[in-house]
Amino acid sequence: MRIEKDFLGEMKLSSDVYYGIQTMRSIINFPISGKTIEGYPYLMKSLAYIKKAAALSNFEVGELAASLKDAIITAADEMIDGKFKNQFPVDIYQGGGGLSINMNVNEVLANRANEIITGNKGYTHVHPNEHVNMSQSTNDVLPSAMKLACFFYMQDLINCLTQFEKTLQHKEDEFQLLVKVSRTCLQDALPITFGQQFSAYRSFIARQINELKRLQEGCLQLVIGATAVGTGLGASTDYVEGMYRNLYDVTGLTVRKVENYFDGLQHADEYVRISSCLKGLCTGLSKMASDFRILSSGPIAGLGEIELPAVQSGSSIMPGKINPCIPEMMMQVCFDIYGKDQAITFAADRGELELNIWEAIIMKNLFEQFSLLIASIPVFREKCVAGVQVKKEINQLRAESTYALSVAISKQFSYEIANEIVAEAQSKKTTVKQIVVEKGLLSVDEAEKLLDPIHLTSLSRSLPSL
């Protein structure tokens, strides 16, 4: 056992743990969710990067001894490598503007640095506040780490979406000449190809990738150096310049200062924009998944136009039933993300005076949005989208039978004549093609040419002249 004390009194801590009294008080005060900050590895890595860069910068300006700098950097590198398992037990639901998070990291690094120097935990040489947190405040450390973490999460998501786009491009090419009846208001509309339908999905994903890349740039604008309220009190100009240079060296990222520290500390609209982008991505993913559920419905009593890969039994009572469970998983992830976006909006709205103190709930929901998408999109891609098959015969038959082919009659003759043809076809429960031949408007060969649904799918496949 070891004893630590603060202004509230003394506390005994196990000799096995690297965290200290402030972390223990947080554990006692906030036994809320069981979700600890250790569950957000990019946050922990980003905090360690900042502590490493700070040690280098403080040494360069003559504020930190070389031996202490080296020990803190070694401890930070170990943290970056994920070597402190179960040493970050602070619950993500907490008050105090993230102080518990910053102090948990400071205490772990201080104890480990002291152990490197002396062989024992404790603060005889390295102190969590005086040395590890030198020239910093929780208020500029935590939001800077959050932005770096968002950058890393975005890169993972961009990689997922890039693979997804490739899969959609493959399906677009595979289905480019397979005709189907499109639907507007869930009613028959003009023929399109399945390739065109998948081109819409692919184009949507490509746009989301571009938007994420744009937002990534904003994540490199940090508030480190602002200290508590934006004045930079406690951090020298040389230290701040060194921080951005050293952060580049340790992360490889072209980080830079925000234009206005006061703005950077008070406003959380950057996170709202990121969350909104993820929400927008979900609207398209959920629509795609919903489309697959509708188009694969049946197989007897539904549309039954496509077939999804069968991945598990769909009923405990009906043998042979297969459910679209992968699209349903994707849709539920999206529903969850919509709710998390709302929480982030409330937290950004509640920033007060010189600081937005709600970083904990913002990061919790934002990082979980990323994690859910990064986990679910590859499953959706591999176990559903990549294996979609088109039922060619039924789609061709429906495309040839739809009354929407009357558009070709309208173009060749008139809108009124086309209206009459459709009305007669509906009353006789036959096709537009059959009626125009019966009325002598077109020969069989002419009707086959003019009313071939592929000719209505694009300008490049324009209607033949008769």
Residue 245 forms part of a structural domain: no
Same domain, 120 and 220: no
Indicate the residue among 392, 411, 438 that finishes a domain: 392
Q: Which of 134, 154, 172 is at the close of a domain?
A: 134
From 164-168, 343-347, 379-383, 435-439, the region with the lowest mean pLDDT: 435-439
Lowest mean pLDDT among 17-26, 77-86, 218-227, 436-445: 436-445
Q: Are residues 290 and 365 in the same domain?
A: yes
What integer is the mean pLDDT of 56-63? 98
Find the domain containing 426 and state its range: 402-461
Asked if 206 and 320 sit in the same domain, the reply is yes
- What's phi and psi for 355, nearest 5 deg? -155, 140
Could you tell me the pLDDT band of residue 461, with boundaries at 50, 70 and 90?
low
Residue 268 domain-assigned? yes
C-alpha dihedral, 300 to 304 to 308 to 311, nearest 10°: -10
The answer to whether residue 79 sits within a structural domain is: yes
* Per-residue pLDDT at 466: 59
Per-residue pLDDT of 241-295, as tens digits, reads 999 999 999 999 999 999 999 999 999 999 999 999 999 999 999 999 999 999 9
The residue among 371, 308, 372 whose CA lies nearest residue 335 is 372
Supply the CATH number for residue 14's domain.
1.10.275.10
pLDDT above 70: percentage of residues in the chain: 98
Predicted local confidence at residue 465, as pLDDT: 60
| Contact indicator for 464, 446 with CB cutoff of 8 Å | no
193/85 same-domain check: no
- CB-based contacts of 10, cutoff 8 Å, min separation 6: 3, 4
Flag whether 111 is in a domain.
yes
Active site residues: 315
Residue 251 lies in a domain: no
In a domain, 122, yes or no: yes
In a domain, 248, yes or no: no
pLDDT at 366 over 80: yes
Q: In this predicted model, which residue has the larger pLDDT, 446 or 68?
A: 68
Q: Which tens digit of pLDDT belongs to each residue from 296-313?
A: 999 889 999 999 999 988
Number of domains observed in the structure of the chain = 3
What pLDDT digit, counting tens, does each position of 385-396 carry? 999 999 999 999
Instruction: Quote the longest CA-to-CA distance of the chain.
Output: 102
330-350 tens-digit pLDDT = 999 999 999 999 999 999 999
- Supply the CATH number for residue 345's domain: 1.20.200.10
Structural contact between residues 456 and 405, judged by C-beta atoms closer than 8 angstroms = yes
pTM value?
A: 0.94
* Confidence at 464, pLDDT banded by 50, 70, 90: low
259 class by beta-carbon count within 10 Å (0-12 exposed, 13-18 middle, 19+ buried): exposed
Nearest CA to 308 out of 320, 318, 297, 319 is that of 297
How do residues 227-250 score in pLDDT, each as one tens digit? 999 999 999 999 999 999 999 999
Answer yes or no: is pLDDT of 314 > 90: no
Let me know whether 92 and 227 are in one domain: no
Predicted local confidence at residue 458, as pLDDT: 80
Q: Indicate if 326 and 197 belong to the same structural domain.
A: yes
Other beta carbons within 10 angstroms of residue 152's beta carbon come to: 19
Question: 82 with 217, same domain?
Answer: no
Q: Last residue of a domain, which of 88, 116, 134?
A: 134
Considering the domain boundaries, does residue 254 fall inside one?
A: no
Which one, of 234, 13, 59, lies nearest residue 129 by Cα? 234
